């Protein structure tokens, strides 16, 4: 008796959880000569309901019912997806929707974030069961495990995009991300006992002394006179032009106009995961393509040192005007990973603390905005807008945020005469 009751209750739960069509629609003509149609269905609670349609002709009503039934069946199929594990459904979303629509490097970053930072934590949870509390716990756990703020923000961004997609497609009724905003940066860093410094104070740059030491080591030679480091001039070129790694590696000899002291940036080099279609394979490969943004495609002026470094690079390797300025041993585009390795070898040998390759760009921009002392004692500097154009920034706000240093000494005495 008890077993029978339990079985009945279980069947009742199964029925109540099943949304399904009960009819394929029935069209009929009303007394006022208009046509109507009704489709009966059962909702998630097991309640019998109907959807009504009307039109001036039978064909019009039948068309409306056919479209509704097709959409209804699609929604049932898709709703089943929310009853599957997050890592299966999110991976499907990445491969079907994101892979064809974003840059390969962006997709690699999305997939890496999902596989390493999301799936191990909530990947086995059923999509439809994930609550705001689960998201908050994931973010807080990452914060407490002393992950970088940027890493946790990437986690939040991927989850936010995925659940927004589910909500827009009406696969879920409520987006759990609405009540799980990204932790404020100041609170995040405070929880990790880190100071929330101004952005301009978080970037790393080379001091004048470090630049001299770096140059000395970069161009050092063995006892036989052969240089220790291949294409060392490329790093000094970056220091004098502010180019990104992908930009400098994407330069062809034909992009450089020595006579008019300018280089034309038209392409960039990136390193992406090898793939068979959408499936990742072991290893990485070079991709030559468009630059980071529309403003990244620009002309960059060349100073005397930049020209000297270009000539030095061509003296070391030159495969023709249509070949890369910084080629590999086969005359092809150099892999960014190999370019970075050589840079770090120079830093280590020179005894300089580790700084990212982007620090060369930071040093260039910081000096331009804040000024360099000239031989006559004057300070030469550029406006943030000018530096933004040189760097390929979309707005000067980015330049000011990262490179304009606070000089509180300029405030000395400014309140004189404002005594209250």
Model pLDDT for residues 218-251, shown as the tens digit of each residue:
999 999 999 999 999 999 999 999 999 999 999 9
> What is the reported pLDDT for 414?
53
Q: What share of the chain is helix, strand, coil (3-state, %, to 5)?
A: 50, 15, 35
Question: Tokens at residue 17, please?
Answer: 């959880």
> What is the reported pLDDT for 2?
39
pLDDT, tens digit (0-9, with 9 covering 90-100), for 106-131: 999 999 999 999 999 999 999 989 99
- Quickly state the pLDDT bin for 16 (edges 50, 70, 90): very low
pLDDT, tens digit (0-9, with 9 covering 90-100), for 276-311: 788 877 888 888 888 877 878 899 999 999 999 999
Q: What is the mean pLDDT of residues 365-387?
A: 83
Beta-carbon contacts of 172 under 8 Å, excluding residues fewer than 6 positions away, are 82, 127, 128, 163, 166
> What is the reported pLDDT for 1?
39
Q: What is the mean pLDDT of residues 400-420?
A: 62
Cβ atoms within 10 Å, residue 170: 10
Measure the CA–CA gap between 388 and 369, rounded to whole angstroms: 10
Measure the CA–CA gap between 132 and 163, rounded to whole angstroms: 11
Measure the CA–CA gap between 274 and 114, rounded to whole angstroms: 18
pLDDT, tens digit (0-9, with 9 covering 90-100), for 138-161: 999 999 999 999 999 999 999 999
Question: Tokens at residue 267, please?
Answer: 């392409």
Taking the domains of the chain in order of start, what are their residue ranges?
A: 2-81, 86-196, 208-403
CB 334 within 8 A of CB 269: yes
Long-range contact set of residues 35-39: C-beta below 8 Å, sequence gap at least 24: 35/60, 35/61, 36/61, 37/61, 37/62, 37/64, 37/65, 39/65, 39/68, 39/69, 39/72
CB 32 within 8 A of CB 56: no
Question: Tokens at residue 273, please?
Answer: 């995961």
Q: What is the mean pLDDT of residues 388-406?
A: 77
Beta-carbon contacts of 419 under 8 Å, excluding residues fewer than 6 positions away, are none
> What is the reported pLDDT for 82?
58
N-term to C-term CA, the chain: 89
Of the listed ranges 178-182, 249-253, 410-414, the least confidently predicted one is: 410-414
pLDDT, tens digit (0-9, with 9 covering 90-100), for 58-92: 999 999 999 988 888 777 666 565 578 899 999 99
User: Does domain 2-81 fall into CATH 3.40.1050?
Assistant: no
Q: Is the pLDDT of residue 388 over 80?
A: yes
Pairing of strands 256-257, 262-264: antiparallel
| Mean pLDDT computed over every residue of the chain | 86
Of the listed ranges 38-52, 198-212, 245-259, 398-412, the least confidently predicted one is: 398-412
- Quickly state the pLDDT bin for 5 (edges 50, 70, 90): very low
Q: Which residues of 88-105 are buried (b: 16+ CB within 10 A; e: fewer)?
A: ebbbebbeeebbeeeebb
Which residues are bridge partners to 399 per DSSP?
none
Q: Is the pLDDT of residue 3 over 60?
A: no
Query: Are the folds of 2-81 and 208-403 the same?
Result: no
**Residue 170 phi, psi (nearest 5):** 60, 35
> Can you count the helices (H) and strands (E) in the chain?
16, 11
CATH number at 208-403: 1.10.443.10
Measure the CA–CA gap between 232 and 397, rounded to whole angstroms: 33
Its CATH class, for the domain covering 86-196, is mainly alpha
**Residue 133 phi, psi (nearest 5):** -60, -35
Which residues are bridge partners to 60 per DSSP?
none
CB 251 within 8 A of CB 266: no
> What is the reported pLDDT for 77?
64
Looking at the chain, the whole-number percentage of residues with pLDDT higher than 70 is 87
- Predicted TM-score (pTM) of the model is 0.67
> What is the reported pLDDT for 122?
96
> What is the reported pLDDT for 341?
95
| CA distance readout (Å), 369 to 139, 395, 404, 406 | 37, 15, 6, 12
Q: What is the mean pLDDT of residues 180-199?
A: 84
């Amino acid at each position: 008796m008890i077993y029978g009751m339990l079985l009945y209750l279980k069947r009742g739960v199964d029925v109540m959880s099943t949304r399904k069509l009960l009819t394929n629609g029935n069209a009929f003509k009303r007394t006022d000569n208009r046509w109507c149609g009704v489709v009966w269905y059962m909702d998630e609670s097991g309640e019998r309901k109907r959807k009504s349609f009307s039109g001036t002709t039978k064909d019009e009503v039948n068309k409306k019912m056919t479209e509704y039934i097709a959409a209804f069946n699609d929604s049932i199929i898709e709703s089943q997806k929310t009853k599957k594990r997050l890592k299966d459904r999110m991976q499907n979303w990445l491969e079907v929707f994101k892979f064809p629509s974003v840059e390969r490097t962006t997709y690699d970053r999305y997939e890496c974030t999902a596989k390493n930072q999301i799936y191990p934590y909530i990947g086995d949870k059923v999509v439809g069961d994930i609550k705001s509390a689960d998201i908050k716990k994931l973010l807080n756990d990452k914060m407490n495990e002393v992950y970088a703020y940027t890493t946790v923000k990437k986690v939040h961004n991927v989850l936010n995009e995925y659940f927004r997609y589910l909500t827009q497609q009406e696969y879920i009724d409520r987006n759990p991300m609405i009540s799980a905003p990204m932790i404020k940066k100041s609170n995040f860093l405070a929880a990790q006992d880190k100071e929330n410094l101004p952005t301009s104070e978080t970037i790393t740059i080379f001091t004048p002394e470090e630049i001299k030491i770096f140059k000395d080591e970069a161009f050092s030679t063995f006892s036989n006179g052969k240089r220790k480091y291949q294409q060392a001039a490329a790093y000094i070129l970056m220091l004098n032009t502010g180019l990104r790694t992908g930009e400098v590696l994407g330069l062809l000899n034909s992009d450089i106009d020595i006579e008019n002291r300018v280089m034309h940036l038209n392409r960039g080099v990136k390193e992406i995961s090898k793939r068979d279609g959408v499936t990742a394979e072991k290893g990485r490969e070079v991709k030559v393509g468009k630059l980071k943004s529309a403003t990244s495609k620009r002309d960059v002026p060349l100073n005397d040192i930049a020209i000297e470094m270009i000539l030095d690079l061509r003296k070391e390797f030159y495969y023709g005007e249509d070949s890369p300025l910084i080629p590999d041993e086969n005359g092809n585009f150099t892999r960014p990973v190999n370019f970075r390795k050589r840079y770090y070898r120079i830093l280590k040998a020179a005894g300089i603390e580790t700084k990212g390759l982007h620090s060369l760009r930071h040093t260039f921009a910081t000096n331009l905005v804040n000024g360099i002392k000239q031989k006559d004692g004057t300070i030469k500097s550029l406006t943030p807008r000018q530096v933004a154009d040189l760097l390929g920034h979309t707005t000067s706000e980015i330049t000011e945020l990262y490179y304009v240093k606070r000089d509180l000494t300029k405030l000395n005495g400014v309140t004189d005469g404002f005594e209250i």
